[in-house]
Structure 1
Amino acid sequence: MFRLVADVEQYPQFVPLCQGLHVRGRKEMEDGRTVLVADMTVAYKLFKETFTSRVELRPEDRSILVEYLDGPFKHLENKWTFEDKGEGSCDVGFFITYEFKSRTLGSLMGVMFDKAFRKFSSAFEARADDVYGT
């Protein structure tokens, strides 16, 4: 599951609202981490925004940290954790916090984003079934 979530280039294929994703740069660190900077474009009806994030892949810790760099948010941060449960299964944790720069945009898009983020787990589960089988 770590590899599936870390494969950000595939997000437009299955992540709700994700219209495009472009990795600007990727750097392999000596301690095993991989750091990348990516632009994600989200779209819903007439709304379309691109934001930039720093993504830190930490395979040794079984975690992924995403930090917001630029775009329509005042802040956005999310963290994935993966706990091995044996026999090819794991518990996946997902935490996200965000706030739009504009109160108007926040009131217009906040409910829609909340609904989309709730659908994330289903989207990743379905992707795992497609990639690894049920």
Structure 2
Amino acid sequence: MAGRLLWTRCACRAVHSAHTAPTTSSTRTIQARSAMGFPGIPSLPSFFPSGQKEIHFSEQKILGYTPEQVYSVVSNVNSYCHFVPWCRASKVLSHSGATGTAELVVGFPPVLEKYTSQLTLKEPSLVKAVSADSRLFKSLESTWHISASPSGSTKHAHIHFEISFEFVSSFHSNLSRLFFDEVAKQMVSAFEKRLARVYGPSLLPPSTKETKL
């Protein structure tokens, strides 16, 4: 009886080992195929749906500055190199009425990209920039819609910031999805800090909530 019991236990252990071994091997295979070699990040083909290359970010906020003040900072492209993340150089080449052309150098280590943007300026409500001759970006467009606060306060502005782009390289477009939202949020934050530096602290009450899309 004891012998049969011992044999049964050994057989059960053998069957258990036979079933658990493939599971461990399968898990390791999935990790080995993860993106950039980091466990926990799915492989690029499965993580990014095919055909979706353009990336879009949109945010709406109420700022404690007048629309004129916000427009003044956003439309001053010459100053971008001093506070916009990854902007290494910025210069307005021409400006006539509601249109203009600017040259920018953007650094995405180890890549440094120089391109021109076509500007559309409507004081104090719109600042739009569309890249014209970039080798890195297939398309790059940013738009600031600036209006009076819905509350009716003349000291607050409502902003709607949108940016969309697509790299020439599909791989770079797909990879950038992993961090693009955070980069875009840093850009909006950089403009807020610039406003504070130029015009002083925000006049927005702490209890006012921001609206995001």
TM-score of Structure 1 vs Structure 2, range by shorter chain: 0.7 to 0.9
Q: How many residues align?
A: 128
Partner of 1:15: helix, strand, or coil?
coil
Q: TM-score, length-normalised on structure 2?
A: 0.55
Is 1:3 aligned to 2:67, yes or no? no
1:103 alignment partner AA: S
Q: TM-score, length-normalised on structure 1?
A: 0.85
More helix by share: 2
Partner of 1:70: helix, strand, or coil?
coil
- 1:95 is displaced (CA, Å) by 0.6
Distance 1:116 1:104 in 2: 18
Q: Deviations over 1:82-121 (max 9, x none)?
A: 1112242101110111101112333455545543222111
Among 101, 110, 114, the alignment partner of 1:46 is 110
- Aligned twin of 2:131: 68
CA radius of gyration, larger in: 2
- 1:124 is displaced (CA, Å) by 0.6
Moved more, 84-93 or 99-108: 99-108
1:7 alignment partner AA: N
1:1-134 → structure 2 map (5 Å cutoff): 1-28=70-97, 33=98, 35-59=99-123, 62-71=125-134, 72-85=136-149, 86-107=153-174, 109=176, 111=178, 113-134=180-201
After the TM superposition, list the runs of 4 or more consecutive aligned residues in structure 1 that deviate by more than 6 angstroms.
Answer: none
Distance 2:182 2:117 in 1: 21
More strand by share: 1
- Larger RCO: 1 or 2 (CA < 8 Å, sep 6+): 2
2:188 alignment partner AA: S
Unmatched 5+ stretches in structure 1: none
**8 A Cα contact 1:21 1:38, kept in partner:** yes
